[in-house]
Amino acid sequence: MTATLRGAGAGQRVAKSGPDRRRMLAGSLAMIMTLTTRSRLAQATPDDGSLGRSAAGCGVRFGAAYDAEVFEDAGYAELIRRHSTVTGNLNAFKYDWLRPKGPQADFHMADRILAFAAEARIPFTATTLFWNDYPAPWLKHLSVAELRRLFDAHVDEVVGRYAGRIAAWVVVNEPFAPWDGEPGIYRKGPWYAAFGPGYIERAFRRARAADPSARLILNEGFCERRDDIGAAVRPALRGLARRLLDDGVPVDTIGLQGHIQPRYGVDHVAYGAYLAELADLGLSLEITELDVDDSRMPGDIEVRDRQVAEQYRAFLDQVLAVPRIRSIMTWGISDRTTWYSDVAKAENPVSPRPPRPLPYDRAMQPKPATAAIRAAFETCLEPRR
Ligand code: G3I
């Protein structure tokens, strides 16, 4: 094992280490790192080199999720290819996108989305098999027996169809919703109505049977929030993962979305400590949907971009200190395509403020967030090799 101190001079390698050695190095070299990082950043690291390559130096993968924009916008496609050593869909593999009108699936777009990644030889994470939010409207009229049948059929058909071609599946997304008022704070929706909390275990077991080679992810949001929602979801997620593991359910990874929303309060250091607790369960961890809500930040774009960049940096510094983190994925790459545009329109339909939550702006130019992400990768101790 070797520990690399990225940022301490050009690719300087610090020989031989395990976790103990790494801790010692971390303390004694922290000062050097701070000083040399500054000088390294001053050497104008280009913001357009591959972030995936920077991440590799830190022992993790980096990438961005996408949908059809890669077919409509060559610049967008180029950014995804350039930066991603892992990628995935935004929407195309969701139940309501595969089956918008009824049980018959339309795989046309999901096939194209996956083919793009396959051609670029980027491992693909499909999201998500089951999410109780945004149910396809036609599901509302079905009986429990019909929902149960459709649930099983969905796993078998979809996971089976892509078996061997998808690196990882987000099997269950956002199991918790404290505001729904259910025991155990489970999120209400059709799949919960069909099986109760047992839908989660059932989905994982069935997915493993349909594709034994895919890594299976339990994904949740809100955990970085310093409010009541974060405080409720963090222990619920840890408890669920613990129970699933105890019962031999094939969960490989916990995905944390990482939609950083400073308006609710964020405590990056406490979040890092929570990730370390999750890591103690023995599962790998991933950040699956990273972006930064800038809606309450100052209007001045320079100031706002700087604050967004600071959030990325503070978040990643904590995340990258956890050895079980294996990848970081942003929820899109350019502000041209972000779910926050819909949020902004809902908040102010007359004159929505264009949101700037992602590393590239709408003109596909890198923003300070790009440099901040790169700097986080270049200054991490390399704990994973
Ligand atoms: O494409 C249609 C467009 O043709 C139509 O004119 C327009 C009218 O509303 O809708 C467009 O589709 C919308 C789509 O986003 C693309 O913008 C859907 O209505 C809207 O429901 C959909 O929202 C997605 C949302 O999940 C629900 O599936 C967002 O793109 C997507 O970013 C968001 O992602 C979620 C993750 O899955 C889970 N974690 C939170 C994250 C953000 O909410």
pTM summary value:
0.89
Q: Is the CB of 134 under 6 A from ligand 1?
A: yes
Q: Which amino acid is at 227?
A: D
What's the 74 CA to ligand 1 centre distance in angstroms? 22
Reported as a single tens digit per residue, the pLDDT across 253-294 is 999 999 999 999 999 999 999 999 999 999 999 999 999 999
136 contacts: CB under 8 Å, gap ≥ 6? 95, 96, 99, 100
Q: Is the CB of 91 under 6 A from ligand 1?
A: yes
Report the alpha-carbon distance of residue 268 to residue 320 in Å, rounded: 12
Q: Is the CB of 241 under 6 A from ligand 1?
A: no
Task: Tell me how far CA of residue 14 lies from CA of 1, 2, 167, 274, 289, in angstroms.
Answer: 10, 7, 32, 28, 32
Q: Is the CB of 221 under 6 A from ligand 1?
A: yes
Reported as a single tens digit per residue, the pLDDT across 195-239 is 999 999 999 999 999 999 999 999 999 999 999 999 999 999 999
Among 270, 375, 272, 378, smallest CA distance to 321 is for: 272
Q: Are 268 and 317 in contact (CB under 8 A)?
A: yes
What's the 119 CA to ligand 1 centre distance in angstroms? 26
Q: Is the CB of 262 under 6 A from ligand 1?
A: no
Greatest C-alpha distance within the chain:
64
Tell which atom from ligand 1 comes closest to the C-alpha of 289.
Answer: 39
Tell which atom from ligand 1 comes closest to the C-alpha of 128.
Answer: 37
pLDDT of residue 22: 38
pLDDT of residue 4: 31
User: Would you give per-residue pLDDT tens digits along the chain (385 residues)?
Assistant: 333 322 222 222 222 333 333 333 343 444 334 334 433 443 444 567 999 999 999 999 999 999 999 999 999 999 999 999 999 999 999 999 999 999 999 999 999 999 999 999 999 999 999 999 999 999 998 999 999 999 999 999 999 999 999 999 999 999 999 999 999 999 999 999 999 999 999 999 999 999 999 999 999 999 999 999 999 999 999 999 999 999 999 999 999 999 999 999 999 999 999 999 999 999 999 999 999 999 999 999 999 999 999 999 999 999 999 999 999 999 999 999 999 999 999 999 999 999 999 999 999 999 999 999 999 999 997 556 5
173 contacts: CB under 8 Å, gap ≥ 6? 127, 128, 130, 131, 133, 219, 220
DSSP-derived 3-state class of residue 253: strand
Query: Residue for token digits 């987000």?
Result: 170
What's the 360 CA to ligand 1 centre distance in angstroms? 20
DSSP-derived 3-state class of residue 216: strand
Among 347, 273, 378, smallest CA distance to 59 is for: 378
Mutate to test the pocket of ligand 1, among 172, 338, 339 (most ligand atoms within 8 A of CB): 339
Tokens standing for residue 328: 């970081």
Report the alpha-carbon distance of residue 112 to residue 5 in Å, rounded: 39
Tell which atom from ligand 1 comes closest to the C-alpha of 259.
Answer: 40
Reported as a single tens digit per residue, the pLDDT across 1-24 is 333 322 222 222 222 333 333 333
Cβ neighbours, 10 Å, residue 303: 11
Q: Are 274 and 222 in contact (CB under 8 A)?
A: no
